[in-house]
Amino acid sequence: MRNLYGILVVAAVLGLAGAAQAAGQVDGVNIVYPIEGAAYPITDPGPGGLKSAYFASSFSVKCRGGPGTVEWGFNASAALGSARFYDQTSMQFVHKLPGGAHYFWVRSNCGQIREGTVKFRIGS
């Protein structure tokens, strides 16, 4: 009887933990890189003024329960890329940018428009 009680307690705890984890999953855009307000490339000492640099970006999008679309780009330009996916996707890519201030944007349609924007600099 004691073993049965222990098994029931463990099962209940695992069930609650799984439900809490599922409840914490939110649809939307997560920009991993660049970091808001940072200057790139990261060097020590800083890079100073740069004419241009190759720059890596990374993001993920989650739209639970159905197909989704995503597009991404820099500044006010047209989208650099787009994709269709089901439930979730992650993207990483490298793009050459001129020195100066920029922003990276990601826009997804998960039943409603979800956006993310990060401001950063190339050079100091």
Classify domain 26-122 at the CATH superfamily level: Immunoglobulins (2.60.40.10)
Task: Give the C-alpha separation, 101 to 39, whole Å.
Answer: 9
At 6 the three-state DSSP class reads: helix
Q: How far is CA 14 from the centre of its chain?
A: 29
Task: Give the C-alpha separation, 98 to 106, whole Å.
Answer: 20
Task: Give the C-alpha separation, 31 to 120, whole Å.
Answer: 13
* CA distances to 6, 74, 79, 114 from 61, in Å: 40, 17, 16, 9
- The pLDDT assigned to 98 comes to 92
Q: Is the pLDDT of residue 121 over 60?
A: yes
Q: Between residues 13 and 95, which one has the greater pLDDT? A: 95
- The pLDDT assigned to 41 comes to 82
Q: Between residues 86 and 17, which one has the greater pLDDT? A: 86
Per-residue pLDDT tens digits for 53-94: 898 999 999 888 778 889 999 998 899 999 999 888 899 999
Instruction: Name the token pair of 84.
Output: 């269709």
pLDDT (average), residues 95-99 = 91
pLDDT (average), residues 15-38 = 63
